[in-house]
Structure 1
């Protein structure tokens, strides 16, 4: 009888793990429609130009950040930390773009810093990039002296192209025209037929479309820059695109180098057993998994693993990642840097969180890109 009970318990546990794997897999590839306000506002002093927030890993970071509040009905820019205790952190208010900050009770911090090219006080063009799924909105920001050198900026999962605006000034100073793109299922570009993320395995085709557009407008040398999942996208574009000979280098900020690391980390953060995370990978990578996740095709995780595929890279890479990322672990980035020191320039951070490296240490981040661009071999 005891043996039968044990078998039953194991069967129930296996069933529960299978169900959780399916739920996790579907969550990974389903675009989110809204982000939660995850930090409490303790007080706002408009006259003094300060705001006091609940301490969180993001709210205690030095630097300049976006602050959405009241369910995205308001947006402000917050600056340096003025005071910090275990119970509260007070920051400087740099400006309020819209909304009633004094009435805010909750909000969320982000690294955007700029809401559009207009915040940079530069000329820009709103345009549409033709892709297989339809026209995808993009911003084109020409260099002060436009030429054939372009950078294509690819944002991460669950955010939009505003994320990449932080890189425009440093590339523009180096003589690069910037193309900031949207891609399938990001809330701006047309949806794919299945409405699901491909984690880079499909979105790279939209980056390739942007490369073709850039070439049609005179680009002769292209740097691809990817943020978070955008890193996975540009690595695919750089190795799979028919236009890859135009690419002269890759810049990666907090990138996904190997999805197995990311899924395992996220599962652990949620307190899930390892078998749930590995099971989610199985669901996403098998054709039958589409019945659970809604995917039109399975994801080839081997093709997305650039730790294993490190030997296939043949372009200069600037790689920047923080050990306290909180979303995408830096293990894949560190492993790639170790495997390919001949082409990878690695700038590690210890305290900067996910895709907030520029916000935390703008000078080091900009200087790293400036130096790396200056060292690119002449075409």
Structure 2
């Protein structure tokens, strides 16, 4: 009997053990499945974020038109950090007009901003509510009322359209040229604001396009490399300029155009012809920018980190639709500060809102012998000219005269 009871007890314990193993096994499988599902979702979001970084996108609406007073020639916009900025700006619209110029703020409250219209509108013009606020101001080269020609710069991908503004009133280009490089998601029009400054100093402006920007030739993928390949098109523009009499080249880059200008400064075969670099709201280190933007968009830090890692990997290029891995180390100019050889002027707002100024400050701290930084506040991203045109202009003119007296000589001649 005792043996029988022991056998029954043993069988019961064995049954409980089997049940426990079954439960634990099922739990492990469930946890593994949940982990794999979460990992897959995590990776999917990271790839979507990475793809968004390199894919050119249409300009997104960032404000709304609430009222247009035809009699008073005023426009009321939804208040945002940008629409509340003093100065002159552009407004991308849809409907009867696709672009308007706006001027001074006439009144504002917590929700709205009323501004003066600098583009005349009439009662028959219907505008959709959605609009995009812009620092461009000038949209076409003709608006500057300066002589210019349409040019095409030969590159490895094909001819890249450019605008050439001779520095001399007689149409002569002279020996001092500035090559202007626009930013991500924009076109050459972004650079037009700076042309009069250089023209007043007798400096010729070559306002260039580069691969995948909508004007220049498209690569197979049609995606940005964040400056890692685009710089070659700008280097081709230097070759083109030197063949037409340029001897001293200034590079001016806006936002991602700053990243491109820095890559040209470091990698060009024509480095000896480059005399300086001017950077407006520049990308100096992409990882800093992407981490900041991820935080602003409330993307989990881990997802942002995985997206950056995905962008940097060659094997992930088919998923991100990039040409290849983005070489973030090569694009980190703070880490490469010792390699700089050209004097640089950085113009950056500490409340940029898109490209944080921290990397610009770090570069200026790392190379005080070469890098001068003019810090703005309130001016936001690439809107420094609009916000304080006089200070912006004075900073560039003063820097040019101090770093190459020939600019002052040419403007006086």
Please report the TM-score for the alignment, with normalisation by the length of structure 2: 0.87
| Match of residue 60 from structure 1 | 84
Contact 2:211 2:233 in 1 (8 A): yes
Structure 1 residue 257 corresponds to structure 2 residue 293: no
Match of 2:41 in 1: 16
Where do 1:221-370 residues align within 5 Å? 221-370=248-397
- In 2, Cα distance between equivalents of 1:311 and 1:168: 31
The structure carrying a bigger strand percent of its residues is 1
For the pair shown, the structure with the greater C-alpha radius of gyration is 2
Q: Which residue of 2 aligns with 1:93?
A: 117
Q: CA 1:172–1:328 in 2, change beyond 3 Å: closer, same or farther?
A: same
In structure 2, stretches of 5+ residues that fail to align are 1-23, 407-413
Question: Is residue 28 from structure 1 mapped to residue 29 from structure 2 by the alignment?
Answer: no
CA contact (8 A) 2:93 2:127 kept: no
Aligned-partner SS, 2:163 = strand
Between 138-147 and 161-170, report the one with greater CA deviation. Answer: 138-147
| SS of corresponding position for 2:159 | strand
Name the Cα RMSD after superposition.
2.0
Q: 1 CA distance for matches of 2:101 and 2:122?
A: 10
Equivalent-residue separation in structure 1 for 2:311 and 2:361 (angstroms): 25
1:130 correspondence with 2:154: yes
Aligned length: 378
Match of 2:133 in 1: 109
Instruction: Map Cα deviations across residues 143-163 of structure 1 (whole Å, 9 max, x no partner).
Output: 125310000000000000000
The match for 2:3 is: none
Question: Is the aligned partner of 1:186 residue 2:213?
Answer: yes
* Structure 1 equivalent of residue 180 of structure 2: 153
> Does the 8 A contact of 1:264 with 1:274 survive in 2?
yes
> 1:164-195 CA deviation, whole Å, 9 max, x = no partner?
00000111111110000000000000001221
CA contact (8 A) 1:44 1:101 kept: no
Indicate the structure with greater helix content. 2
- Partners of 2:295 and 2:139 lie apart in 1 by 33
Structure 2 contact 225–323 (Cα < 8 Å) conserved: no
- Preserved CA contact (<8 Å) 1:44 1:102: no
Q: Give unmatched runs, 5+ long, in structure 1.
A: none
Give the alignment's TM-score, normalised by structure 1: 0.95
For the Cα contact (< 8 Å) 2:278–2:345, is it kept in 1?
yes
Q: What is the CA-CA distance between 1:316 and the residue it aligns to? A: 0.8
